[in-house]
């Protein structure tokens, strides 16, 4: 008990000693006691200006404990600019203690001199839009199909070859299997893709509803283009690589995306080959919803799509996907990036095609770090993004645990070209940038007491939504269906991306403006017309279902639907439908169907869709 009581006063005395030098330094610079000691305010100001000049020139500064007079002078304008806080509150909130200041100084982060201008790389890339050197035949008068084939020409052949191979391997594995069906042609693959795209404009509960003969669901477009069984045959055996090329799971370099690797690389290379992105870019992740079984499936509770396959994308201001990467696990890093963190490695891989052009890149706190920003600056890429306070290399005094801010308060620290800010609104916002000038510290609120948003935050909100905008546009006409195979789910998402990029590429050429939906419908028409020229499309075989709504037999006005004698006895169609066998010698002259005249069969057959 005696030892415990003797320790407590010592702790209090140490805390008071830590705080006392800071208060003395502030009162010495702002109080009138300095004049009574024989030093005027002008003399102090001159000494402090000399010390600031020494700091700017890189000369050694005079030591006043842990603080210098020049450092205190740099703090005063920021803390005194708060219109709502008293002097005591400013001392408690705006001024860090000696230990915090020592941590900031040793880590290289300091308060910025005012004003401070950042060095921003000049953008030297070309204008946003299509690269005329890569696609000289594409202009504002080109058809949607001609632009779409820039990305999908090689993929169409890949789909036909691998789908037929997969089907024949399946037939060969059966002992007493059925006779093999004819091989799928490129014309049929075009029709299959066209119908799949069209389905995104009229969603149904089941795929079979598109071929339904029900009066409420009947759409002759699908049955006229391709039989239902043929469409389901292509969908079932749709494949993207040869299964004989499977890798060994035990191999350290096993590629988990091997079933889609060829198609993914073809498409990803074409996205950057024919397009020049805008100056401002954004990196973010999206989720392709999938609840089946795959080893790299992600669960993110905070997202609307909680289960699925995660993709990292690099998009420009129009939502164009310039580069992308599928997340395959925490160990999926290139051999040259093993010493880097996973977010650092992802950003470096996605930005390898835009290095040296002076692009401005925005990202969220999952990617941002001082080391990453320094690395990208060497490659002429300026960055801005939110950042986590626990990120390695961030200033230790910019942490919510070290001090508390009021709404509208803004704290700033700089290190070389980096600027870190901590802004308080409803929540704490920490940001890192090397493309904006460092703002002034203080409390900034309007007349109603609402926090004024800094310029860094405004520009971040303006540019960060590029990836979400592209994902929203691509999924506005969703063509994905429930399936147990992750390869099909990912393929249909890539198909949506290819259509969206084709639309943005054609829109950049100028000409008549049209919407994304009109572009998709025009693409469907072009693909069907192209398929008609390439080869004959299989038409449905057999008579329509009895539940069909035959408009010809129901429209009796002005037609030749009259009862006429039959040379042979025929069964009544209406009676047979009801389970009654009745042979008659009367039939309809127009329809050629046997019907009872003495009963109501003739009238019901020509007036009712279902009888």
Structure confidence at residue 175 (pLDDT): 81
Question: Helix 144-173 to helix 261-273 angle, to the nearest 10 degrees?
Answer: 170
Q: Could you state, in order of their start, the residue ranges of all structural domains in the chain? A: 2-80, 138-245+478-534, 551-605
Structure confidence at residue 314 (pLDDT): 97
Distinct helix (H) and strand (E) counts, the chain? 20, 14
Q: How far apart are CA 566 and CA 553, in angstroms?
A: 19
Structure confidence at residue 297 (pLDDT): 92
Residue 607 has pLDDT above 90, yes or no: no
Highest mean pLDDT among 57-66, 363-372, 588-597: 363-372
Q: Which position has the token pair 């073809």?
A: 266
Q: Output the average pLDDT for the chain.
A: 80
Tokens in use for 520? 């998709």
> What band does 319 get if pLDDT is binned at 50, 70 and 90?
very high
Q: How far apart are CA 65 and CA 477, in angstroms?
A: 66
Residue 237 has pLDDT above 50, yes or no: yes
Structure confidence at residue 545 (pLDDT): 53
Helices of type H across 31-182: 33-36, 41-57, 69-80, 87-93, 98-106, 144-173
Helices of type H across 174-227: 186-199, 220-225
Per-residue pLDDT tens for 321-332?
999 999 998 877
Per-residue pLDDT tens for 18-29?
333 333 333 333
Per-residue pLDDT tens for 426-440?
999 999 999 999 898
Is 76 or 48 the better-scoring residue by pLDDT? Answer: 48
Whether the CB-CB separation of 439 and 141 falls below 8 Å is answered with no
Residue 483, SS3 per DSSP: coil
Structure confidence at residue 289 (pLDDT): 92
- For the chain, the residue count is 611
Per-residue pLDDT tens for 35-58?
334 333 344 444 444 444 443 444
The full DSSP string for 93-125 is HTS--HHHHHHHHHTT-BPPPSS-----PPP-S
Residue 345 has pLDDT above 50, yes or no: yes
Picking from 180, 156, 152, 178, the residue whose alpha carbon sits closest to that of residue 166 is 180
Picking from 540, 471, 502, the residue whose alpha carbon sits closest to that of residue 152 is 502
Structure confidence at residue 23 (pLDDT): 31
Structure confidence at residue 554 (pLDDT): 52
Structure confidence at residue 10 (pLDDT): 42
Per-residue pLDDT tens for 87-133?
333 333 344 444 545 454 446 888 877 666 777 889 998 899 999 89
Rounded average pLDDT over 363-392: 94
Q: Which distant-in-sequence residues (6+ apart) come within 8 Å of 521 by Cβ?
A: 198, 201
Structure confidence at residue 416 (pLDDT): 86
Rounded average pLDDT over 497-510: 94
Per-residue pLDDT tens for 372-385?
999 999 999 999 99
Structure confidence at residue 421 (pLDDT): 94
Residue 401 has pLDDT above 80, yes or no: no
pTM (predicted TM-score) = 0.72
Residue 511, phi then psi, degrees to nearest 5: 85, -160
Per-residue pLDDT tens for 473-495?
999 998 877 788 999 999 999 99
Structure confidence at residue 233 (pLDDT): 96
Q: How far apart are CA 341 and CA 15, in angstroms?
A: 39
Helix, strand, coil abundance in the chain, percent, nearest 5:
40, 15, 45
Rounded average pLDDT over 196-225: 92
Helices of type H across 200-302: 220-225, 228-236, 261-273
Q: How far apart are CA 469 and CA 318, in angstroms?
A: 8
Per-residue pLDDT tens for 543-565?
555 444 444 555 554 567 888 89
Q: What percent of the chain lies above the pLDDT cut of 70?
A: 77
Structure confidence at residue 300 (pLDDT): 86
Q: How far is CA 54 from CA 47, 59, 112, in A?
A: 11, 5, 15
Rounded average pLDDT over 501-521: 92
């Amino acid at each position: 008990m005696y030892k415990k009581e003797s320790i407590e006063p010592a702790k209090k005395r140490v805390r008071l000693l830590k705080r006392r030098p800071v208060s003395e330094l502030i009162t010495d610079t702002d109080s009138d006691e300095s004049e009574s000691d024989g030093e005027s305010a002008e003399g102090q100001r001159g000494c402090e200006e000399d010390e600031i000049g020494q700091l700017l020139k890189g000369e050694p500064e005079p030591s006043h404990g842990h603080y210098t007079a020049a450092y205190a002078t740099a703090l005063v304008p920021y803390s005194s600019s708060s219109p709502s806080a008293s002097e005591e509150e400013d001392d408690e909130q705006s001024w860090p203690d000696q230990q915090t200041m020592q941590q900031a100084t040793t880590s290289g982060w300091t308060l910025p001199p005012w004003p401070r201008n950042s060095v921003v790389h000049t953008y030297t890339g070309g204008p946003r839009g299509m690269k005329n050197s890569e696609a000289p035949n594409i202009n504002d008068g080109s058809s949607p199909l001609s632009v779409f084939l820039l990305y999908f020409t090689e993929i169409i052949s890949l789909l036909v070859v691998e789908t037929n191979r997969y089907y024949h391997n399946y037939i060969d594995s059966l002992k007493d299997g059925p006779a093999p069906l004819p091989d799928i042609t490129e014309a049929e693959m075009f029709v299959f893709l066209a119908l799949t795209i069209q389905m995104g404009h009229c969603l149904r509960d089941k795929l079979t509803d598109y071929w339904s003969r029900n009066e409420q669901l009947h759409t002759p477009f699908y049955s006229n283009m391709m039989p239902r069984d043929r469409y389901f045959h292509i969908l079932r055996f749709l494949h993207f690589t040869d299964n004989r090329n499977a890798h060994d799971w035990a191999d350290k370099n096993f590629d988990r995306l091997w079933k889609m690797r060829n198609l993914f690389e073809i498409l990803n290379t074409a996205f950057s080959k024919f397009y020049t992105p805008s100056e401002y870019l954004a990196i973010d992740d999206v989720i392709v919803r999938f609840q089946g079984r795959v080893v790299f499936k992600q669960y993110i509770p905070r997202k609307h799509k909680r289960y699925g396959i995660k993709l990292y994308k690099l998009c420009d201001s129009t939502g164009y996907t310039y580069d992308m990467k599928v997340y395959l696990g925490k160990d999926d890093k290139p051999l040259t990036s093993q010493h880097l963190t996973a977010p650092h490695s992802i950003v470096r891989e996605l930005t390898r095609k835009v290095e040296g052009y002076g692009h401005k890149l925005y990202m969220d706190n999952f990617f941002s770090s001082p080391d990453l920003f320094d690395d990208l600056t060497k490659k002429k890429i300026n960055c801005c993004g939110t950042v986590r306070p626990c990120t390695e290399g961030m200033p230790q005094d910019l942490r919510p645990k070290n001090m508390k801010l009021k709404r509208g308060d803004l704290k700033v620290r700089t290190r070389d070209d980096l600027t870190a800010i901590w802004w308080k609104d409803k929540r704490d916002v920490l940001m890192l940038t090397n493309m904006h000038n460092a703002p002034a510290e203080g409390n900034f609120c309007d007349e109603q007491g609402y926090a004024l948003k800094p310029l860094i935050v405004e520009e971040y909100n303006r540019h960060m939504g590029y990836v979400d905008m592209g994902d929203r546009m691509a999924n506005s006409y969703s063509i994905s269906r429930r399936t147990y195979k992750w390869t099909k789910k990912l393929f249909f998402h890539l198909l949506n991306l290819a259509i969206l990029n084709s639309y943005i590429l054609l829109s950049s050429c100028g000409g008549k403006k049209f919407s994304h939906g009109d572009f998709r419908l025009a693409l469907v028409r072009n693909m069907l017309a192209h398929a008609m020229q390439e080869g004959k499309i299989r038409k449905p075989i057999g008579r329509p279902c009895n539940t069909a709504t035959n408009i010809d037999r129901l429209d009796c006005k002005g037609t030749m639907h009259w009862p006429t004698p039959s040379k042979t006895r025929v069964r009544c169609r209406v009676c047979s439908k009801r389970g009654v066998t009745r042979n008659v010698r009367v039939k309809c002259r127009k329809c050629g169907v046997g019907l009872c005249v003495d009963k109501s069969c003739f009238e019901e057959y020509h007036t009712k869709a279902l009888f």
